[in-house]
Amino acid sequence: MSRTALVTGGTRGIGAAISIALKEAGYAVAANYAGNDAAAERFSAETGIRTFRWSVADYDACVEGIAAVEEALGPVEVLVNNAGITRDAPFHRMSREQWQQVIGTNLTGVFNMTHPLWPGMRERRFGRVIVISSINGQKGQFGQVNYAASKAGDLGFVRALALEGARVGITANAVCPGYIATDMVMAVPEKIRESIIAQIPAGRLGTPEEVARCVTFLASDDAAFINGATLSVNGAQFPG
């Protein structure tokens, strides 16, 4: 029987690539999404991956959503915390709402998803918790104090969680993508995109599939001794 993997923000961009890669690796995959029904329906029709809608910023919704996934596919043994948002602004103009929205999804959302699954992982003595952080959580970025703080917090989360899970067969690791050729990045004006690429020693954007392959490895039995680690996928832009 295949293991069940749950990917938050799993129907678009990097999340979609992760969902597809895990399915191809033999996992039963559930893809969570927050609100774009049309994109989720299209993704499910194209891939055969079941989708489930709820906001990771809402703890009770996470509990209910996880229960629905487990009823449909079985106990979740691999959790990929990928869902994230941006609300960029220079700090002197950043509103309290912009701060709270980003922290609520990108950091508290990781707690909201992992916490309900933790007892089952401990009881089964197996689990994989993978958090998609960001290069900007490692080095910071102008106009992203909220985002950088949330993504840096994700790194602390996995490092501490790894210490608690190691003795019961659970790993917790982070993947920090650099600039990836998602729809959002490709929609940036060409001149700005060229300036971004100029900062990447590899001379190109990464692909969602390159990030997804890292996640698939960390979810596998081959990665059982990798715990509390941060895997940087950024073309040498930041040696973190």
Residue 59 is a catalytic residue: no
Q: Which residues of 30-65 are buried (b: 16+ CB within 10 A; e: fewer)?
A: bbbbbeeeeebeebbeebebbbbebbbbbbeebbeb
Other Cβ atoms closer than 10 A to 105: 24
The mean pLDDT of 112-135, rounded to a whole number, is 98
How far apart are the C-alpha atoms of 49 and 54, rounded to whole Å? 16
Active-site residue (options: 27, 33, 147, 179): 147
CB 16 within 8 A of CB 80: no
| pLDDT tens, residue by residue, 27-37 | 999 999 999 99
- Cβ(36)–Cβ(233) under 8 Å? no
What confidence tens digit (pLDDT) does each residue in 4-50 have?
A: 999 999 999 999 999 999 999 999 999 999 999 999 999 999 999 99
Give the C-alpha separation, 176 to 215, whole Å: 11
